[in-house]
Amino acid sequence: MKITEQFLKKILVSPSLISEKDFDLIKKKALAEKKSLINAILDQGLIFDEQLGRLIADEIQLPFVNLQKTKIKKDILNIIPEIVARQQETIAFEKSQEGLKVALSDPENIELREFIERKTGEKVLPYYATEKDIKETLKCYKREIKEVFDELINKALEELKKTVKAESLPIIKMVDLILSYGYENRASDIHFEPYQKKTILRYRIDGILYDVLTLPETIHEFLISRIKILADLRTDIHEAAQDGHFSFSFPDEKADIRVSIVPIEEGEKAVLRLLSERARRFDLEGLGVGNKETEIIGKNIKKSWGMTLVSGPTGCGKTTTLYAILKILNTREVNICTIEDPVEYDIEGVNQIQVNPKTGLNFSKGLKAIIRQDPNIIMVGEIRDEETSKLAINAAMTGHLVLSTFHATDAATTIPRLLEMGAESFLISTTLNLIIAQRLVRKICSKCIESYEISPEKIAQLLGKDLVLKLPRTKEGKILLFRGRGCSLCYKTGYLGRTGIFEALEIKEPIKKLIIEKATADQIKNKAQELGMRTMIEDGLKKAEKGITTLEEILRATKE
């Protein structure tokens, strides 16, 4: 069944779930970005995948199934061969007295239903499942990485008894497998850590490092050599740090892999960062920015000059937020230039410069060069020293819109930190438009989410009385929150994916006055809250209240 524009309009616009204006805007966006209309609608966050799936199922008069919330036995899954399941986008998920329950993204595929009935001798009971849900569930066909690696390692050790030539070993297959499993499990980084008699393979998933495999020390050198070859690094150098990158083709896309190799006491340690296209598909809403903050950001980035800073610690998604802002600003009417370390993603229509210490090209020199390139908008990867801060402020004063990241614990702390760098208070007050501060928190797994009640007194001990008053109560006076029990989909963690928590400090007149007076961060923060700023922890509590994340995650992310 082809889900047409008219079909989607009927189930979404007619009942006023999405306005006709929003629908038309999304349609234009889908055409511009060459993506399906249904995926463009989901990317906007105006409706969730399950909600849309249920609407489609009701319209075509078929039962709906959410496979992510369904426990599927391996023997039932394997009734339909993996190759057929992938090509036809179908999953067998349950067997009953009435027949075999099969999820299909195209329930009108009569030939497929007949094929399954012939193969199994069972009557097919068709259910509708979304394309996205089926693609996620197809991962269940994969054997555990440990099982596959045990086979490969045993083969490698047998070969090592005969020869020490790397070409005789399945090293290429091993590295490919490590990358593929990392990608499928949404790993942002892959670590190869050598020890005296073993190597530990670790994946960073949703910001947390997990031990995945223990590999024999005998193959460590071969794995590192393979990575060096892919990244075009020197294989004969073992006592110096080396950085490189390469591209790797996954089933869905070609991703950039950034490589860092350093010598440690036990050998060479390698860390691979996966820079996936899917990581940069988000707009502000998709990153977790609330409606109020999105409106504030939108208003300030429309200004023709001034500075917007994104603050937070390393690894909290600051650059991703800047890319989402650039995505909004990137039109043919403006000249956008960036200086980055490194350039994480190529953006068509944006002039991106890579910092290069070997040639002396740092942020300050790159920024000086950019100003001579007639830019409207300048993005500086990070303000980390006095020279760069003064150049950025000067550029913002002279008619450019400047975007950058900054290391500070929250939005208000950014201002005293700029003053410490030598920036003049009156210049900061004149040029600074907006400070966004953020953290990343893990999202509760949708498959194993459960609610629970907690006493206000217990939360008050953790958060303070003022914040507890903002949380709604049940009839019994308790506070309703959510958590993940832990399941096979989330590897028993209770979490799946990440989102951001944000605060947006708009530099209004009362804040400008405090900057000139060189007020403390606490004074600036208190005034900003009086003027309506929602803090990161308040934003996090809203997300915890909605079942997006947990109270524990908010506390973990916001503790100083």
- What SS3 state is found at 109? coil
Question: What is the C-alpha separation between 199 and 201, in angstroms, rounded?
Answer: 7
> Tokens in use for 352?
């991106």
The verdict on 271 and 286 lying in the same domain is no
Structural domain including 311 reads 282-440+499-535
The verdict on 41 and 99 lying in the same domain is yes
pTM of the model: 0.71
The verdict on 239 and 303 lying in the same domain is no
- What SS3 state is found at 48? coil
Quick check: is 378 in a domain? yes
pLDDT at 42: 81
pLDDT at 199: 93
pLDDT at 165: 53
Please count the other Cβ atoms lying within 10 Å of the Cβ belonging to residue 96. Answer: 10
Tell me the CATH number at 131: 3.30.300.160
The verdict on 204 and 291 lying in the same domain is no
Quick check: is 489 in a domain? no
Quick check: is 477 in a domain? no
Tell me the CATH number at 183: 3.30.450.90
pLDDT at 34: 79
Question: What is the C-alpha separation between 28 and 51, in angstroms, rounded?
Answer: 23
Quick check: is 311 in a domain? yes
* DSSP for 51-91, written as a single string: HHHHHHHHHTT--B--GGGS---HHHHTTS-HHHHHHHTEE
- Residues 466, 538 contacting (CB under 8 angstroms): no
The verdict on 246 and 349 lying in the same domain is no
Which of 74, 105, 135 corresponds to the end of one domain?
135
Cα 319 to its chain centre, rounded Å, is 11
The verdict on 420 and 345 lying in the same domain is yes
Question: What is the C-alpha separation between 100 and 121, in angstroms, rounded?
Answer: 10
Residues 351/356/359/360 CA torsion (nearest 10 deg): 100
The verdict on 295 and 256 lying in the same domain is no
pLDDT at 476: 83
The verdict on 38 and 79 lying in the same domain is yes
Quick check: is 125 in a domain? yes
pLDDT at 65: 93
The verdict on 262 and 323 lying in the same domain is no
Quick check: is 550 in a domain? no
Q: Over the stretch 388-412, which tens digit does the pLDDT of each residue have? A: 999 999 999 999 999 999 999 999 9
Quick check: is 31 in a domain? yes
- H or E element that contains 502: strand 495-506
The verdict on 130 and 148 lying in the same domain is no
pLDDT at 279: 59
Tell me the CATH number at 371: 3.40.50.300
Which of 81, 115, 135 corresponds to the end of one domain?
135
Regions of the chain with pLDDT less than 70: 1-2, 142-146, 155-169, 277-282, 560
pLDDT at 3: 78
pLDDT at 16: 80
- H or E element that contains 435: strand 432-444
- What SS3 state is found at 420? helix
Classify burial at 251, counting beta carbons within 10 Å of its beta carbon; exposed 0-12, middle 13-18, buried 19 or more.
Answer: exposed
pLDDT at 166: 47
The verdict on 84 and 164 lying in the same domain is no
Length of the chain: 560
Number of domains composing the chain:
3
* DSSP for 301-337, written as a single string: HTSSSEEEEEE-STTSSHHHHHHHHHHHH--TTS-EE
Quick check: is 476 in a domain? no
The verdict on 179 and 129 lying in the same domain is no
Which of 135, 153, 171 corresponds to the end of one domain?
135
